[in-house]
Structures are given as C-alpha cells and as structure tokens.
Amino acid sequence: MKRVRATLEAAGITPDIRETALARTAQDAATALGCAVDQIAKSIVLRGEDSGKALLFVTAGAQQIDLARASALALAGEALGKAEAALIRAQTGFAIGGVAPVGHITPPRAWFDRSLLKFPLVWAAAGTPHHVFSLDPQKMAELSDAQVSDFVAIS
C-alpha cells in the first residue's frame, strides 16, 4: 500500500485509499464500495509462455480476458498463460488479490481495458486484498503506463 500511495502522491494526487472488509474479487470490492462491478479495475498478471515475462492487463471487474486478443497485443503474439504467485510477487511486489495497477517493484508492460474509460471514477486494489483506491480511469491508465486496448472476451 505504501508504494501505491507514494506513486499517486508523486503524480500530485491525494489518494483516496479505503480499507474494505475484503476485496479479493471484483464483486467483493464492488459490494463493499457500493459501486458497479465494472467500476472495479482488476489487475490480471499473465505470463508469456516463451519469455517468462509478467504482463499486466487491467480490466473491468465483470470482464474476462480473451487470451487470443491479449496475446496479439503482447510480445509479438506470444502465447499467454497463468502467472505463478512467485512471479507476480517478484515483479510487482504484491500478492494475488492485492495487485495494484501502479506502484510495482518492476513495472511490467501493461494494457488497460477501454471499457473502463466510460466511468468518471474507477476503483482498484491498493496493494492488499483489504485496500482499494479510486482514480479517474484515464489517469490510472497513464500512471500504470498502460496502452488502452481491446482485449476482453466479446459476449
């Protein structure tokens, strides 16, 4: 949480970090905050199957990542798979369930779900499963150095 706060403050933002009973899932966070589940910007870390690199996809809470679409964006079409907890912790400094879109030890390449931009404010994990912060989605994409893209499954 300290790295998230420091990142936001360094950008001139007074962070609105809140403690919740539990925000391990987007639905948990939305329920705790009284907002729509798609206003939760969930950070999904995937692993390049060949390179072993961690890649960050920030997506709206109810959305699922389309691995083929995400792979087309990442590492010249490299296949993507589930990142192990150790890789996530080593690269981001956060545990699964608390990965923030900002404040990583080693910032990964990142993509940001275009559908989050329709909201005036979105919420994301602030480094623990019990803390969240709110921010304008465009600013969140900028601070996470993420490319706004389309990579979610189309219903």
Q: What distances in angstroms separate CA 149 from CA 6, 15, 81, one per listed residue?
A: 27, 25, 19
> Quick check: helix, strand or coil at residue 30?
helix
pLDDT at site 76: 67
The model's pLDDT over 119-131, given as tens digits with 9 standing for 90+, comes to 999 999 999 988 9
**pLDDT per residue over 42-86, tens digit each?**
999 999 998 899 999 999 999 999 999 999 988 767 899 999 999
CATH 3.30.390.50 for domain 2-149, yes or no, is no
Q: Are strands 40-48 and 80-82 parallel, antiparallel or unpaired?
A: antiparallel
Rounded Cα–Cα distance for residues 133 and 49 (Å): 31
SS3 state of residue 4: helix
For the segment 18-38, what is each residue's pLDDT rounded down to a tens digit? 998 766 678 888 998 999 999
